[in-house]
Amino acid sequence: MKWALPKSGGMARESHPYRSYFGSMLFIGASLILTAILIVLIWGTLNSVQVFLPRADFVVTRDLQLMIRDVERAKDAAQSLAIAPDNREMLARLEEANDLLYIRFIRGDHREVYEQSRTISKMADKLRAAIPVIDDMVGKGVPVDELAIGNLSKTFADAAVVFNRDYYLFGQSTSAFLEKQNAKIRELAGYIPFALAFLFVFSVASAFLFHLRRKALGRLSHIAWHDSLTEITNRAGFVEHCQSLVRGATGTSKTFALILIDLDRFKDVNDAYGHQIGDRLLQEIARYFERNTRASDFVARLGGDEFVMIIEDAASIDDIANHINRLSRTLQGYIKIERFNVPTSCSMGISFFPKDANNFNGLMRNADLALYEAKERGGDSVAVYAPELLDRHSSRIDLQQRLREALARDEFLIAWQPQFDLRTGRIESAEALLRWRCPREHRLISPGEFIPTAEQSGLIKKIDMTILEKACWQGKAWEDGPLGPIRVAVNLSGHHFKSTSVVPRILRILARTGLSPHLLEIELTENVFIENHEVATEIIKALRAKGIHVALDDFGTGYSNLTILDDLPLTSLKIDRSFVSELEDNPRKQTFINMIIGLGRALGLSVIAEGIETWKQFEFFVGSDCDQIQGYLVSKPIETEDFEAWMTASDNLFTDFKVAALDAILKEAEHYRVASEQKKAGRLFG
């Protein structure tokens, strides 16, 4: 099932693929018929010209000459005599006939011969009518001057000869001219078959090009409105359809649901199986939509792993519950692609027209807010738009703007938390903890309140680099100052480990500040390796090659792979505070902690325990062979000036820690000695 855009702007089923072909063939047929009609008309016209023109030849014969002569003779005789009143009518008729003598002929070479006052046919008729009148006058014995008539007759006879000669020449010239034109026409007629063949070829070629053009336009239209990978409608087609649907539904009782569908962890699929399998997965999901949607439903791919669906006649979640459940069940599990069973799940955000919005932009915004809420729940979830989602979104947007302003105003600072070395009794290193001094709220804001928003907006990278550079500058100052070298530990977001470009940025900061690489420790979490194992491994190896320490933070809370740990050139493991806080009342936590410490020892890593707040916790880690501790028992996070003052005035505190550590070690040794003796006694007397 495919969707295409008709001329009306809405979506409809795609037209038959041969329709444009039949239209082109119809055009070719019409062209051939018109060409045939044109051939018949041209051929018939040329033949008519050839038949008619040679007959337009010498028309007036000697009869005309004789009639002219007789008229002149009668006229002369009448003028020589006194005409009685009764004969005036006959004289008038002769005068009328006399007017016909002045004739104008245009020869074929356009030379004038005579002037014509009336048509030849009319002249001949009147001459024939005048002859009986003249004969009647002669018959009545009208007295005439024979000599005058003879002279006039001779004169007009000569004139008739000249007239006859000239008219004959006119006829000959006209015939020659017409014959010349006839030859040209015959020559032109010889080209007619070639012209007609050209017209035929031109018509067929035009029709073929017209067909190709329509086909190309159809293909371009398909490309413009369809996704090239899945062959379903693309974003542009969806926007056109949804806007058309909104226009048609406005002012009516029509409703529909707009559902945004986003595949969960699709990037993991690409990373684990390759982009080819990822593309196949998208194609399979698109085919599922085609097979399992009604004719009135609409599906499109917006891009990446995001799809959109429109279900008409839906006003609430109850109207589409079955549809949504079926989609969730299908896209939750595994899809077989080649030899792989690819895990899939999806998140959906839903908004309704007109309940949630009565325009396209509002529907999209609300569905997107609902999708964000579903993603926040961990994915594989469905969320319906509610007004409070918009409030939370507005708060996020406001916080993002405030974070940008905080970067520009240098409002981020470092709170240092020292790490106490249980073996030397010294502060060997300190962790740089991010704080935001917010002038609007007049307080220090902890990272938990703004880091999620910073990560979603991408601002976390700039914030991390700002804190890293400040920490390196301070580490360099301590290295050169009276406190001596203190390793500074900085936690970087997993966003940095998606590209190896983070390595040169870190090295540039070290070069700019002058801090020795071995006095910098980069902390990262286990999720970095799960999401970007290959890139993260390459980054860590590059950092270690420069002498920079790398610690795995919050160890034990993720999904660590021991093989990955063995391959990575780490320097430290940090036990998460969730294990430490419960170890006094939960023996299983103590077991887990001892396992982590043992693992660190086996891998040659330093082990640091976070969240130490009581002396009992301290004594436990002293006796468990942990390297360093960090927590409120040692010191809360404090700003740079307070940290330096605390370091200067803490000799007694360090001494107390040394004594306490020694007592704990002695107690552990005594406990081990007593246990060993009891075990031996049991073997001896058991």
pLDDT tens string 354-372: 999 999 999 999 999 999 9
Indicate if the pLDDT at residue 613 is higher than 60. Answer: yes
Indicate if the pLDDT at residue 571 is higher than 80. Answer: yes
Residue 83: pLDDT band by 50, 70, 90 thresholds? Answer: very low
Q: Nearest to residue 462, comparing CAs of 432, 434, 420?
A: 434
Q: What is the pLDDT of residue 43?
A: 55
pLDDT digits (tens, 9 = 90+) for 269-304: 887 888 899 999 999 999 988 888 888 889 999 989
Indicate if the pLDDT at residue 441 is higher than 80. Answer: yes
Q: What is the pLDDT of residue 396?
A: 87
At 366, which amino acid appears?
N
**77-86, 188-197, 608-617, 666-675: least confident range:** 77-86
- Mean pLDDT, to the nearest integer, of 623-642? 90
Q: What is the pLDDT of residue 42?
A: 59
Owner of token pair 């809360």: 636
On the question of a cis peptide bond just before residue 418, with omega within 30 degrees of 0, the verdict is: no
Residue 662 phi, psi (nearest 5): -65, -45
Distance CA 65, CA 74 (A): 14
Distance CA 251, CA 63 (A): 94
Q: Nearest to residue 98, comparing CAs of 140, 121, 69?
A: 69
- Mean pLDDT, to the nearest integer, of 420-444? 90
Question: pTM for the full model?
Answer: 0.60
Q: What is the pLDDT of residue 188?
A: 65
- Mean pLDDT, to the nearest integer, of 206-220? 79
Q: How many helices (H) and strands (E) would you count in the chain?
A: 22, 19
Residue 193: pLDDT band by 50, 70, 90 thresholds? Answer: confident
Q: What is the pLDDT of residue 321?
A: 87
CB count, 10 Å around CB of 382? Answer: 22
How far is Cα of residue 491 from the mean position of the Cα atoms in its chain?
A: 38
pLDDT digits (tens, 9 = 90+) for 32-65: 666 666 665 555 555 544 433 333 333 333 334 4
Distance CA 97, CA 289 (A): 101
Task: State percent of the chain over pLDDT 90.
Answer: 33
Which is higher by pLDDT, 28 or 198?
A: 198
At 397, which amino acid appears?
I
Q: What is the pLDDT of residue 622?
A: 86
Going by C-beta distance under 8 Å and a sequence separation of 6 or more, which residues neighbour residue 235?
300, 301, 302, 303
Distance CA 465, CA 596 (A): 31
Q: What is the pLDDT of residue 57?
A: 32
Indicate if the pLDDT at residue 1 is higher than 60. Answer: no
**321-330, 391-400, 433-442: least confident range:** 321-330
Indicate if the pLDDT at residue 334 is higher than 60. Answer: yes
- Mean pLDDT, to the nearest integer, of 72-85? 47
b/e burial code for range 316-347 (CB count within 10 A of at least 16 → b): eeeebeebbeebbeebeeebebeebebebebb
Task: State percent of the chain over pLDDT 70.
Answer: 65
Q: What is the pLDDT of residue 28?
A: 62
pLDDT digits (tens, 9 = 90+) for 219-238: 887 788 888 899 899 999 99
Question: What is the secondary structure of 301-357 as a DSSP string?
Answer: EEETTEEEEEEES--SHHHHHHHHHHHHHHTSEEEEETTEEEEE-EEEEEEEETTT-
CB count, 10 Å around CB of 579? Answer: 21
Residue 311 phi, psi (nearest 5): -115, 120
**Summary mean pLDDT of the chain:** 76
Q: What is the pLDDT of residue 291?
A: 83
pLDDT digits (tens, 9 = 90+) for 488-532: 999 999 889 888 899 999 999 999 999 999 999 999 987 787 667
- Mean pLDDT, to the nearest integer, of 476-484? 92
Tokens of 97: 């006939």
Do 539 and 497 touch, CB atoms closer than 8 A?
yes
pLDDT digits (tens, 9 = 90+) for 87-118: 445 445 444 444 444 444 444 444 544 444 34
Which is higher by pLDDT, 51 or 206?
A: 206
Distances in Å between the Cα of 238 and the Cα atoms of 10, 294, 502, 678 are 10, 17, 38, 79
Residue 509 phi, psi (nearest 5): -65, -45
pLDDT digits (tens, 9 = 90+) for 122-178: 544 554 555 565 556 556 665 545 565 455 556 555 655 655 565 555 555 555 655
Indicate if the pLDDT at residue 620 is higher than 70. Answer: yes
Indicate if the pLDDT at residue 656 is higher than 50. Answer: yes
Do 345 and 332 touch, CB atoms closer than 8 A?
yes
